[in-house]
Structure 1
Amino acid sequence: MKRIFLSVACLALVLGSCQNNANEIKPDQQEVTVDMSDFYVYTSDDNTTKSGHIHGPQCGSMKVLNRQLKENPSLENRMYNIEKHTRKLIAAKSATNASSKKPGGGGTTGPIPYQGSITIPVIVNILEDANHPVTQAHINSQIAILNEDYNDMNPATGGVPSEFNNAVANVDITFVLAGVNRKASTRTSWGTNDEMKHSNLGGMDAVDPARNLNLWVCEIGGGILGYAQFPGGELDTDGVVIGSDYFGENAAGGQYGHGRTATHEVGHWLNLRHIWGDGGCRQDDFVTDTPSSDRANYGCPAYPTVHCRTNDMTMNYMDYVDDNCMYMFTNGQNDRMRAIFGTGGARETFVQ
């Protein structure tokens, strides 16, 4: 009897050991941890003071985000979770790449930013003002410019300074016109309260925003060229608003009439912050390969333009320079954009 008891005890010990081994987490399977101590959402509404362009044209995205955060206290937590998920996917990609370089490596640490080509259907909602017409030529040129910029086909990219040459990214996103809706409007200034996105307020409702990028084209006013909603906001207001004169190739827009307002604002919609981080030298845009800065740049700055002891990447689409002087995204920005299309990402429905 004692002999049988000892045999059973030994068997239990062996089985327990096997079970422990089976549940043991291997180094390349551990959950990626990320530092969120630098995360922020609220910013100053006016980021132009240091640039000397207090009354210059602006992007209204951060002002709109501040308003939405005040109106919806849960938005900050949603954006925190989206940012944490974004950082985990990017960290997992780095860990996977490092593992693949080791002898016998190649294991994964979990989901990484989406790696395939991405196609985004675009719905253009136009609130027509007779004094600021939006033609089919404007629409076609805007889609073409988005495709040029998000596929590294901007001819000006050939002039990127050598310092940033290895950072230039092909984001591999194709935008396809999926529909155009028009509604006559006599309103000369819609502001930034999202009223243009609601039919009951005189605007136009979003069309299936979980699967389409909705662009609203109207007179915004207040020196605002355009604004976007970041991932995490309410679905019925999701999309990008662009001033009529700054949509597509448009002579009425002057130096901002070459379609890059949409490129910039779609970048926000894809989770990019302004390249200077909307703050001082220590406030970041959460991208490792963009240099620190403490202000927006305007016009067509000479290289190098130095702030925070580094050369500004003034030619980045997420700065405020003239349309013809912005011509690149970075690999780090590309990872951020692609993370929201990855498994569990805020815009995963676009690739499912």
Structure 2
Amino acid sequence: MGEKVLMKGNEAIGEAAIRANCKCFFGYPITPQTEISAYLSRKMPKIDRVFLQAESEIAAINMIYGAAGTGIRCMTSSSSPGISLKAEGISYIAGAELPCVIVNIVRGGPGLGSIQPAQSDYFQATKGGAHGDFNMPVYAPASIQEMVDLVQDAFDTADMYRTPVMVMGDGMLGQMMEPVEFKEREAKVLPEKTWAACGLKGRKKHNVINSLYLKSEILEQHNLKLQEKFKEITKNETRYEMYNCDGESDLIMVAYGTTSRICKNVIKMAEKEGIKLGLIRPITLWPFPLEAFEKSINSTKHGYISVEMSCGQMVEDVRLSVEGRKPVHFYGRTGGMVPHPDDILDKVREIVGGAK
């Protein structure tokens, strides 16, 4: 075990990116993720790496396009409205098959909303996030330690599949402090970046980075190629935790990020009343962990409840996973309100009919 240090979530993200050999960061400040930029602005110039505060989120994501096109590791970060501004560039990056990491520390919306924590960007992150037929892997950490680990994993996943990868945490994770350990990581065997636009390097023709295909037949073939890649990511990279799901449950909760930690407390509270609850925690929001529902569908009496800091976005994927075989319930808070364990337990009692 290495030494643990107490760090704020946003700063831990910055340090994790440095240790993952991120060479360039382009971003623009917005609460509640600004400390990522502040941390990297102090650290990166000292180790001969590029930190640049762009004039806007739109500029930042297009700088990422350029840097990623050369094959170097690069990252941007923002919070909800800023990610919306980056959407066009994210689609270009996905279309051009460029690896990069995008961090979203989610705040309440829609519009400018609030600076309080939320999970209401789930649709935006998991249903493409911008125009066109594409998906990108989305990691949802539930602790500062997991935030560190998943940021480093995200760079590897991006390089493995030539894709943008998002790490999505709520504002609470960005602002809270916890002990973290920066572990020694085994270097993954990753594909050589023979596609990168970085000079001829012995080739007869320059590599060209592009997402424009004017002939429909060619664009269709490109899209079909991308779909095969997304199938491969789904097969290899889906991650989840099943907590207290051994044996039969009265009800299984589905939650991610900070909300999943609250749900683990609810499980302990319910146990005292004789109510057996389980938890499915998606670690990848895309690909969504369908397998966890196949494993648990026959062992839950009253089905599932999706618990979210939103008006009910992930619940749609839960319903698709369950395919009508069991009831799917929902409990959510929105606008920056955080679900309280007592209120979740009240909803559980309502569903299961009280203590058994």
Select the structure that is richer in strand.
Answer: 2
Q: Which has the higher contact order (CA 8 A, sep 6+)?
A: 1
* TM-score (normalizing by structure 1): 0.25
Q: Flag the structure with higher helix content.
A: 2
User: Scaled by the length of structure 2, what TM-score is found?
Assistant: 0.25
Larger Rg: 1
